[in-house]
Amino acid sequence: MIITRTPFRMSFAGGGSDIASFYEKHGGCVLSTTLNKYMYISVHPSFEAIDTVLKYSQTEIVEDVNEINHKYFKEVLNMLRVSGVEISSTADVPAGTGLGSSSSFTVGLLHALYSYKGKFVSKEKLAQKACEVEIDRLKNPIGKQDQYAAAYGGLNFYKFNKDGSVFVEPVIMKNEMYKQLENNFMMFYTGQLHSASAILKEQSSNITNGDKEANQLKMCELAEELKNELQHNNINAMGEILHEGWTLKRTLARGISNPVIDEYYDIAMKHGAIGGKLLGAGGGGFLLFYVPEKRQQEVRVALQLTQMPIAFDTQGSAVIYVGSKPDIF
């Protein structure tokens, strides 16, 4: 048996510039970190060698992988030419909450199956293959940041080049400032799920709009600015840049925010948050706020939302268990 653990991510600045329609014209950049909330994938030989068994929110048992309903399982198993296995997935956080769960699933599944076949796979290859599955093969109208974050892990600055290549630059800080940055975040569940694809499809088509394109360019500049501020250990710039970025992001597509989310945001800002944003493409999921520790209880009481405790992940996708495996390849 093989078990992989792959983190979810939260993006701070530059989101949307990782979409091909933007970075192929301007280049893009995103600053994000991964969280201690994970997708787990386990793989082992099926009891009946002819069967491929998949266990997620449903259970599928097929003899031909082309009969699989779950499009991600179907695509990855076909791509890696694997069958006759039983695969289970489980996650710390539900899908549709703005933490990049589909990409964490794809990276984790690829990592598990490569390992099951006895093949080493680098973080770069994991990210590239996940992008191939989600963007090239499945034609999802999404960007590249989630796949790279899930594979690499940690607090990183990602540069998306016009030729499609991606540079990954770790953000280096003093350890005590890194811990303080981590402690100043509060994440709350809005109770609303969202469809990232629908919002990102509209956002991608809006890139040619002059005002929206200018706002996206400014959001990319904010990612560069935030990287520089953090590397000079100015952690309070995080809150200010989050607020400016969220103000710009709300202009990029309908459905990114709504009156309920706007009200939550205003309440948090009035009670001590320096800045914040809705994670992911928008429309629902988790609200992230940057709040000095001395004001956090005030924000918590004012919002009356479910808070999810978080810490930063630094490892990225990892194989956490290797059991005995029959020699079937």
What is the rounded distance in angstroms from the CA atom of residue 115 to the CA atom of residue 4? 9
- How do residues 202-246 score in pLDDT, each as one tens digit? 445 555 556 778 888 999 999 999 999 999 999 999 999 999 999
- How do residues 265-280 score in pLDDT, each as one tens digit? 999 999 999 999 999 7
Confidence of residue 285 (pLDDT cuts 50, 70, 90): confident
Tell me what pLDDT residue 106 has.
Answer: 98
Helix (H) or strand (E) holding 7: strand 2-13
What is the rounded distance in angstroms from the CA atom of residue 324 to the CA atom of residue 116? 10
CA distances for 161 relative to 93, 104, 169, angstroms? 31, 22, 13
Tell me what pLDDT residue 258 has.
Answer: 86
Q: Which domains, from first to last, does the chain contain? A: 2-172+314-322 (3.30.230.10), 175-311 (3.30.70.890)
pTM of the model: 0.91
* Residue 287 or 199, more confident: 287
Tell me what pLDDT residue 111 has.
Answer: 98
What is the rounded distance in angstroms from the CA atom of residue 212 to the CA atom of residue 307? 32
CA distances for 245 relative to 16, 225, 239, 279, 281, angstroms? 11, 11, 10, 12, 13
* Residue type (1 letter), 191: G
What is the rounded distance in angstroms from the CA atom of residue 97 to the CA atom of residue 76? 23
Q: Is the dihedral of CA 210, 215, 221, 227 positive or negative?
A: negative
User: Token match 């001395």: residue?
Assistant: 294
- How do residues 4-22 score in pLDDT, each as one tens digit? 999 999 999 998 899 999 9
| Token code pair at residue 286 | 């988790």
